Structure 1
Amino acid sequence: MIQEHKWRFLNDFITRGGRPLKLFMDIVVSMDVQIRESYSESIDGFSKNELAKMMVLDGVFLIELFRKVGRLSPVHQDDPIFKMIWVSPLLMMDILKIENQIPFFVLQKLYDESRTDERTLPSLIFEFYNYLVDRQPKILKKCENLEGKHLLDLFRKSFINTNNNGDSIRRCENAPLKLIQPATALAIKGVKFRANHQAESFLDIEFENGILYIPQINMDDFYSSFFLNCVAFEQCYFHCSKDITTYVVFMGCLMNTSTDASVLSGSKIIENYFTDSETAEFFFHIGKDVAFDIKNNYLQGLFKEVNDYCKNGWHVGWAGFIHKFYFENWPVLSALAAFMLLSLAALQTFYTVYPYYRKDK
């Protein structure tokens, strides 16, 4: 279905701009070598013109889509892409799939040659995605001139760059490092969980005074697809940071079971559109076989701080005592609480009835 709309959007693009299609074809043909070098697999099966046709058709479709959402191009009131509410979310996910990426420099060149205003292409892209991922205007402003290898990389960087430009590794030289324990085990040792509503990115995780501050995230189809594709890209592309992979591994450590996921849901860290068991299973599977360097990631300092906190200290012993005392004695405590409630109810009844009894006497 989308193929039909690509040709329609291309016609809108050419008609409105008044510049011939051949101009854009020639521009893309001139970048043929650079385009082919951008792909890990050979695309020699396409001739120069075939490759250029594909790039122009896909590139113009994306540009027109972003422009229409940004109200820079007119939208027909019955356009099915915007009228049917299920189309746009699926399209947003599809555009960010790693197998659907085209080089960003192609998009940028096509946009520059057809530009009629001062808006940057990244600003239009982030406005488009802000319908699903609502972010503060100041964050969007910072991303206006961001660059990436492709749309997926650009969108991925918009989260990383809010965290000190992606260079937030806390060095722990010569320190033995290991992954952290699940949320239920950490809770037994006194670690508390709080949703960080002030964070600019879901990557901005902090640990302070026994409290893990984790930004709230909506676990839905969009984010699950986004994480899958980001991890795939970071695993395949050596020269990029591995921040999304680190986040996924971190969340996978916290959620071994549905009970662990319930701890985070109860703390309002995860707003679930899935069940707790589905969320735990997702993070377990996505982080299961990824290449992850525990000594070289942006959370390595946090891993060490949490593990050091859980090793010893009075807070760990006290938290363990409270947990053990409660769970070993909860039948007794429950019975005692029930007895006290019954006793209070009996006393209330007695003092309600007694004055009338005295009066009758």
Structure 2
Amino acid sequence: MEDRFKQEPTLLRPSAGTKYCTIFRAPKSQEESNPNAYKPHIVSIGPYHHGKPQLQMIEQRKTRVFSILLDRTSDDDDDGPGLDDYFTAVASLETDIRDSYSEDLNCETADLIEMMVLDACFIIELFRVGGIDTVMIPGYEDDPLFLTNWIVAALMIDLLLIENQIPFFVLQEIHKLSRSPYDGDRSINELALMFFNRVLQRPEEHLRWYSVVAITHLLDMFRLCLVGFAPNRPSPKVKVDEELLQLMPSVNHLLLVGIKFEPRKSENLIGVVFDHGVLRIPPLTIDLLTTSFFLNCVAYEQSYHYCDKHISSYVVLMSGLMGNAADAAFLSQCGMLMNLLGPEKDVARFFCDLAKDVQFNFKEC
């Protein structure tokens, strides 16, 4: 009996609950509400969904991508890194990699290192082909995987899933080894944001703000970009009265008491301002990618105690405002909501259902 109480947990890593543990399964309550929202549909990244039969098409292509990368970097530099260099570099990070996952990975060292190398190379090459518009990266001239719009859109969604992440420091290490003239002076942060800028639509100079930001993984990077944090700039605040946020009336109720609504030009999504009877909200495009992002970002903020909860706060705010389809329709008419999801009632229901899973201290928002 005494020995049983001394046993270490076998499913959770000892690092679970520390700031180093940043990659989680979706909380059970959220997974039950949206069982398919946290699972990749086209590409597996990291260990949680590795080896699933429906993801094998792209899994098999990862070795070809790695081969193209090796051939190109060796052509660019006769002393360029070889296969062993990539595996050795990532092997030195094994403990940190394992500590980044909340679950104890049932994965041999060799398999884990190979997975990380292939996944990181695949992601970085995707960023190069899909983000650098000025040149065509050799080896991908006719590659449907990286050049077909619907596939790239599906890849983008899968790369922002909470359960489909690898640590960002692995991407940084692989990028250092695989740098080529096509990258210019861009960091991996900038390459990633240039790829995601298809939907972010930010000026390129803004992307450089995030070149030195501490990032845990790609979902966190996308979250920080929408929140608007950057070095040497104050962290943004949702400028809505605390009591108003906790008991946020719907659009219709606010209109009845004379509150006005206006779209607000802002660098970040959460730049909501309530001032002199006017609620100003930055425009939001709601589509398959943004709904997937909100679901997974809320799951991340609920799981990782060392990050702010700005996106969760925003979801609660929008849930209160959009009590029904008419509220969502009004925001659309005012230019604060571009609905590409479907009927307005679906948008209102989405935020309402997601807000039910949000738990946080309002004083931290």
Where on the TM-score scale, by shorter chain, does this alignment land: which range?
A: 0.7 to 0.9
Q: So what's the TM-score if we normalise by structure 1?
A: 0.77
Deviations 1:219-259 (A, max 9, x none): 00010011111100000000000000001110001011111
SS of equivalent residue, structure 1 residue 213: strand
In the TM superposition, what is the alpha-carbon distance from 1:211 to its structure 2 partner? 1.0
Residue in structure 2 matched with residue 227 of structure 1 by the alignment: 294
Consecutive unaligned residues in structure 1, runs of 5 or more: 298-361
Counterpart of 2:262, as a letter, is R
Question: Which aligned pairs between 1:38-117 and structure 2 lie closer than 5 A?
Answer: 38-43=100-105, 45-69=106-130, 70=132, 71=135, 73-74=137-138, 76-116=140-180, 117=184
Q: Which residue of 2 aligns with 1:14?
A: 70
Query: Would the alpha carbon gap of residues 250 and 96 (structure 1) be closer, same or farther in structure 2, given more than 3 Å must change?
Result: same
- In the alignment, which residue of structure 1 is the partner of 2:89? 27
Higher relative contact order (CA 8 A, sep 6+): 2
Distance 1:149 1:177 in 2: 29
Aligned positions of 1:139-150 closer than 5 A: 139-150=206-217
Q: 2:199 aligns to what SS in structure 1?
A: coil
Note if contact 1:38-1:103 (Cα within 8 Å) is conserved in structure 2: yes
When normalised by structure 2's length, the TM-score is 0.76
Q: Structure 1 residues 275, 75: closer, same or farther in 2, change over 3 A?
A: farther
Distance 1:106 1:221 in 2: 28
Number of aligned residues: 294
One-letter code of the match for 2:169?
F
Q: Tell me: CA distance 1:176–1:156, structure 2 relative to 1, closer, same or farther (3 Å).
A: closer
Deviation of 1:60 after TM superposition, in Å, equals 0.6
CA RMSD between the two structures: 2.1
Secondary structure of the residue that 1:98 maps to in structure 2? coil
Q: Specify the alignment match of 2:361 in structure 1.
A: 293
More deviation in 108-117 or 138-147?
A: 138-147
CA distance in 1, matches of 2:186, 2:357: 41
Per-residue Cα deviation, 1:49-93 (whole angstroms, up to 9, x for no partner): 111000001011001111122247325332112342211111100
Unmatched segments (≥5 aa) in structure 2:
1-56, 75-80
Q: Contact 1:67 / 1:73 at 8 angstroms: preserved in 2?
A: yes
Question: Max radius of gyration: which structure?
Answer: 1
State the Cα distance separating 1:140 from its structure 2 match.
1.7
Residue correspondence of structure 1 range 298-313 to structure 2 within 5 A:
none
> Is the contact between residue 229 and residue 235 of structure 2 (CA under 8 Å) also seen in structure 1?
yes
**C-alpha distance in 1 between matches for 2:82 and 2:65:** 15
- What SS does the aligned partner of 2:149 have? coil
Residue 182 (1) aligns with residue 250 (2)? yes
Alpha-carbon shift at residue 143 of structure 1 (Å)? 2.0
Report the equivalent of 1:193: 261
| Secondary structure class of the residue paired with 1:207 | strand
Quick one: distance in 2 between partners of 1:25 and 1:184? 58
Match of 2:235 in 1: 166
d(CA) in 1 for partners of 2:114, 2:281: 45
Higher helix content, 1 or 2? 1
Over 6 Å off, 4+ runs: 169-173
Does the aligned pair in 1 maintain the 2:248–2:320 contact within 8 Å?
Answer: yes
The CA distance in 1 between the partners of 2:214 and 2:228, in whole Å, is 11
Amino acid at match of 2:201: D
1:287 Cα offset (Å): 0.7
Quick one: percent identity of the two aligned structures? 37
